[in-house]
Amino acid sequence: MLAFYIFDVCYRLLQALVFSHFNLTKLQVLPGNVLFFLCLCVQVCIITKHFCRGPRKKQLSLFLSLTIPFFLTYVTGILVAYFIYPAYNRQDNIVSKVLIAIFAPLITVFLKGVSRFCVQRLWRISHPGHSFVPLGPLYHGSAVMLRFLQVDVEDVGAIAVIGGIHGIAEVIERSAMVFIDHIYHQIWQRRLVRCGNFRTPRRERLAADIVIMSILYESSGIISVNGFLHLYRYFYSSDNSALQLLQSFALTTSVALAIEWFFTSLSLAIETRYQNMPVMAVWRRRWKKHIVVAIINAVVMASWLSSSLILPAVVNNERSVGKPKDFCQMPFES
């Protein structure tokens, strides 16, 4: 495992000394990602052999349960950075952009369901109060990346429509979480189990933590994405004033947050009153843990998204839309 770290450090030094710091080609990025995944697989293999000494089939099942949530996070990032956002930038019509922004989150619904089911199978490894931690990167990353599609439309009506449809989809997803996980359980176990028997205390705790994560990450994603886009336009675009950008930031953020909080209140009412899910009790007792996990994921996602999504997709689109500032104007230049 140490050898993979040494190779990774050497390749990063080679990138800094030989290659360009920005606009790396896919071929130049590939070796670093391969080394990272190989190192991750070796670590998971060691953990798998430590916790499971049974047949190879059980070891493979545990290995997949440990790696799939993190692997699907990178799958989501690759789909958004290299397929969804380039297709979004190529559209000249605002209706086409709105349709892409509306239907893009459907991809994460399936990936989140698979990841939840894998985490639920780690009952021998993770404590019920810590089971949501492996799901943090996927929920936080998808919330931030897909919010770029909403706020980049720059039309308040379109932002309201996208936020409303996203809010309805989130209410349906959160309310039907137990039923969706029951379907995954039926497919995996290949036997009939009543939906009531599927709801164990461990799954109830995980469902409550997931609801808290969704609420926390979606709201923070709206603020952070809006803040990044408006700060970028202030520092690197010459056709926007500070007052104009401040008004735009306040308007788009307040509209998106108001819609998000309305549907969040609706989903909380359904989950706490009709599904008897202990969302508020878990938040009152474990809010510090959720805040710490959110901060750690925010730092990691900011460093990863800056090279995989923000620079090649978002920033390039901003350069093509706005007039960039000239920071090298000297008195003696013509």
Cβ-based burial of 26 (10 A; exposed 0-12, middle 13-18, buried ≥19): exposed
How crowded is residue 142: how many other Cβ atoms within 10 Å of its Cβ? 26
Alpha-carbon gap, residue 154 to 318, rounded angstroms: 12
pLDDT score for 178: 66
What six digits make up the tokens of 155? 């039309």
Residue 21: predicted pLDDT: 53
User: Quick one: pLDDT at residue 311?
Assistant: 54
pTM of this structure: 0.81
Distance CA 159, CA 169 (A): 15
Give pLDDT tens digits along the chain (334 positions): 567 677 777 777 777 676 655 556 667 777 777 777 787 788 888 888 888 877 888 888 888 888 888 888 888 887 887 788 888 878 888 888 888 888 888 888 888 888 888 888 787 788 888 889 989 888 988 888 888 887 777 778 888 888 888 888 888 877 777 676 667 666 666 656 565 555 677 878 888 898 899 889 988 888 888 888 888 778 776 566 788 888 888 988 999 899 988 988 888 888 888 777 888 889 999 899 999 999 988 888 777 766 555 555 565 555 555 555 554 443 434 4
Q: List phi, psi (to 5°) of 191.
A: -150, 155
Residue whose entry in the numeric block shows the structure tokens 């947050």: 257
**Reduced 3-state DSSP string for 189-226:** HCCCCCHHHHCCHHHHHHHHHHHHHHHHHHHHHHHHHH
Instruction: Answer whether 214's CB lies under 8 Å from 140's CB.
Output: no
DSSP summary character for residue 325: P
Q: What is the pLDDT of residue 328?
A: 44
**Paired strand residues for 324:** 237
Of 173, 166, 134, 127, the C-alpha closest to 150 is 166
pLDDT of residue 315: 58
Neighbouring CB atoms inside 10 A of 60's CB total: 12
One-letter-per-residue 3-state SS of 67-118: HHHHHHHHHHHHHHHHHHHHHHHCCCCHHHHHHHHHHCCHHHHHHHHHHHHH
Residues 6+ apart with CB under 8 A from 176: none
The pLDDT, as a whole number, for residue 331 is 42
3-state secondary structure 230-272: HHHHHHHECCCCHHHHHHHHHHHHHHHHHHHHHHHHHHHHHHH
Cα 25 to Cα 22: distance, rounded to the nearest angstrom: 9
The pLDDT score that the predictor gives to residue 308 is 54
